Structure 1
Amino acid sequence: MLHVDSDLKKLDKYYKDNGLMINASKTRFMKVGKYESATLDCMLNNWGYEEVEVLRYLGVLIDNTLKMTTQYGQVVNKLTMSLRALRIVRNFLPSPILWQFYNAYVGSHLNYCNFVLIRLSVKCIKRLQSLQSRAIKLVFGLELTFQTLDLFKELFLIHYQSLV
């Protein structure tokens, strides 16, 4: 950890040599794991960097425990809102448009960086699967008791519960 200050100086020099600048107001740092290091905080804060517990990188929320629970919460919220909207529009739109709605507002959230979801608990994965299944049932007008596993295979959809 004592190398942080010299590493920051090297980065700063590299940026200056190449006509670039580090924007301290946009630069954050996150300690991953369990650290007790006032020295590290002081060094990074002296450079003007703010410590965060959750970092957004390419639309994925990464927390300092790397358990992906923050990302999971965001995906569940977006899926829940999409299901509400799907319930409202399902009676007014034809099936092909509902399928496009599913892909845009449900499938996109489940598929984007879905590899990070592997770190989730079985309970969380089952919740995602439940939301996905409900959306498919709304799109195709299926009963709540309909088993969706074969339909998922036919539509080439990931069945998250089977990954557990």
Structure 2
Amino acid sequence: MDRCISDTSTWMEGMKLTLNQSKTEFILIGIPQQLAKCSNMAINIGGNEIYALSCVRNLGAYFDKYMTMEQHIKSKCKAAYAQLYNIGKVRKYLDHQSAKKLIHALVHSHINYCNVLLIGVPKYIIQKLQMVQNTATRVLCRIGKYDHITSTLTSLSGSLWNLALNTIYVY
């Protein structure tokens, strides 16, 4: 491991890049039995000992040590709900098309980000993203919290509303 880190550091220096030791993280991924064998593992980078984390972020996607993607979905849902809250505050001033574009730009960008990583994730985790989409539909179409949503989702499915979501989500 030390040789690999040294080689990476040498390559980066050759490319006029610097390894930021304070932001360097690593994670061990595996099943609980495998991870129990490697507890408290640390690597040495530039005199600093870095310990394995339970969750790391790479290019905006969160990976946990069991690859459940729960932290990723949690963070994306949180960001999407924050945007929906803001859109809901100004929704009465927007026409349908403007609200639809705004939701596509600010909400669907969060729930679609890195969704290819979610293939094979259990339905109960994916259901959280479906709930965000249902809330977005309610904000767009001004539907009450307890009103039925299925028919509205079906009517919107012909548009770009479900473009990237159809491959993973189940209605």
* 1:72–1:117 contact (8 Å) kept in structure 2: no
Distance 1:105 1:161 in 2: 19
Please, which moves more after superposition, 110-119 or 136-145?
136-145
Distance 2:39 2:169 in 1: 42
- Give the alignment of 1:111-150 within 5 angstroms: 111-142=112-143, 144-146=147-149, 147=151, 148-150=153-155
Give the match for residue 14 of structure 1: 11
Q: Unaligned 5+ residue runs, structure 2? A: none
Seq. identity, %: 21
Q: Secondary structure at the match of 2:56?
A: strand
Deviations 1:60-118 (A, max 9, x none): 11112211110011112122222322322211222222112201221111222111222
Q: Secondary structure at the match of 2:119?
A: helix
* 1:87–1:138 contact (8 Å) kept in structure 2: yes
Amino acid at match of 2:54: E
Give the match for residue 151 of structure 1: 156
* 1:54–1:63 contact (8 Å) kept in structure 2: yes
Deviations 1:45-69 (A, max 9, x none): 6742533222111111111221111
> 1:53 and 2:54 equivalent?
yes
Distance 2:103 2:59 in 1: 22
- Give the alignment of 1:72-91 within 5 angstroms: 72-91=73-92
Distance 2:161 2:10 in 1: 50
Give the match for residue 25 of structure 1: 22
Distance 1:15 1:107, change over 3 A: closer
Q: Secondary structure at the match of 1:108?
A: helix
TM-score, with normalisation over the residues of structure 1? 0.79
Q: How many aligned residue pairs are there?
A: 159
* 1:68–1:117 contact (8 Å) kept in structure 2: yes
Distance 1:86 1:13, change over 3 A: closer
Q: Secondary structure at the match of 1:106?
A: helix
Deviations 1:106-155 (A, max 9, x none): 11112221112224321222231122022123213346314212422333
* 1:68–1:119 contact (8 Å) kept in structure 2: no
